[in-house]
Chains A and B, each alone.
Chain A
Amino acid sequence: MGQITIFYILAFLATACSLLVISSKNPVTSAIYLVCDLFILAGIYASLQAEFVAAIQIIVYTGAVVVLFVFVIMLLNLAPNEQSSLGLKLPDIGFTLLTVLSFLIVTVLLVNEQSSVSGGALGPPEAIAQLGGNTRAVGMTLFTKFVWPFELASFLILAAIIGAVHIAKKDPKPADKAYGNLKASNREKAIYGSP
């Protein structure tokens, strides 16, 4: 009983935070609500006895990805008229299709109530407890069964680092030109003195 109450509170908060993420006017506000949403989802993971996933959710998403978003928002320094608000056009065809599709999915989920999946035990199996907790069990799975995908993931991160640096790098030509102009103006200032 307590568990389902906690789930409903967390689910309501997660839905509200997600709606606020997509509907706030300022991107920084959206980023803060995204942090709230990720924390609440980490709480849901923890209530599902997936402590390792909850921890890396907080560390990686909240600690790295959202900080990256906030840095880019700060770097771009958008003018207030460029912060577009939610341009809701309700009779849009995509919106209508999406609503109908999600309603159909909910209906199918609720009508086809399969007792085989909804009656699973929530408690951790004895094997996990014997292995020494969720993190250790996930680590054992990761480094035995999924060791090649793990190596591929590290390769993907390496490629992403190199790609991000290359894409965000300034073009050498305009940078040199700007620096040359700056030097020229400084030289002018040095010759003619500052006004």
Chain B
Amino acid sequence: MVPLDHYLVLAMILFCIGTLGIVLRRNIIMVMMSIELLLNAINLVFVSASTYNQNLDGQVMVFFVITVAACEAAIGLAMVIALFRKYGTIDTQFLRTLRG
């Protein structure tokens, strides 16, 4: 029997890796993949807590998180395409229009 702490520590490691990807990568597509890693870490916490508390609400929450992640990927990739069409690059170093 695996203790719940193991799942939580694994989820935290995955979350930290995803955050590192967001901070360090400069390609916007890579940043979005790192966001998917973050959402997966959160899903792991939901599922493990749901199983250990014997309450199915957590798994339903994972369903909603996956829905929101799919919407976020669709909108974000559409924005990436629009950005690439307008500026010709998706490197965050060169996209500094919103920087005051």
Contacts and interface: CB of A to CB of B under 8 A. Distances in A.
Interface string A147-185: 001000100110111011101101000000000000000
Nearest to A131: B56
Contacts, number: 215
Secondary structure of the B side of the interface? helix
| Contact size range, B | 35 or more
| Contact size range, A | 35 or more
B84 to A, nearest CB: 5
A123 to B, nearest CB: 9
B33 A76 contact: no
Interface of A: 3-4, 7, 11, 14-15, 18-19, 21-22, 27, 30-31, 34, 37-38, 41, 44-45, 48-50, 52-53, 56-57, 60-61, 64-65, 68-69, 72-73, 75-76, 78, 82-84, 86-88, 92, 94-95, 98, 102, 105-106, 109-110, 113, 117-122, 125, 128, 134, 137-138, 141-142, 145-146, 149, 153, 156-157, 159-161, 163-165, 167-168, 170
Given A22-B17, A84-B26, A159-B71, 17 more contacts: A14-B14, A15-B13, A18-B17, A18-B37, A21-B17, A41-B40, A45-B47, A72-B80, A82-B27, A87-B24, A87-B26, A92-B23, A102-B16, A141-B57, A141-B60, A163-B78, A168-B81
Interface of B: 1-10, 12-14, 16-21, 23-27, 29-30, 32-34, 36-37, 40, 43-44, 47-48, 50-54, 56-57, 59-60, 62-64, 66-71, 73-75, 77-82, 84-85, 89-91
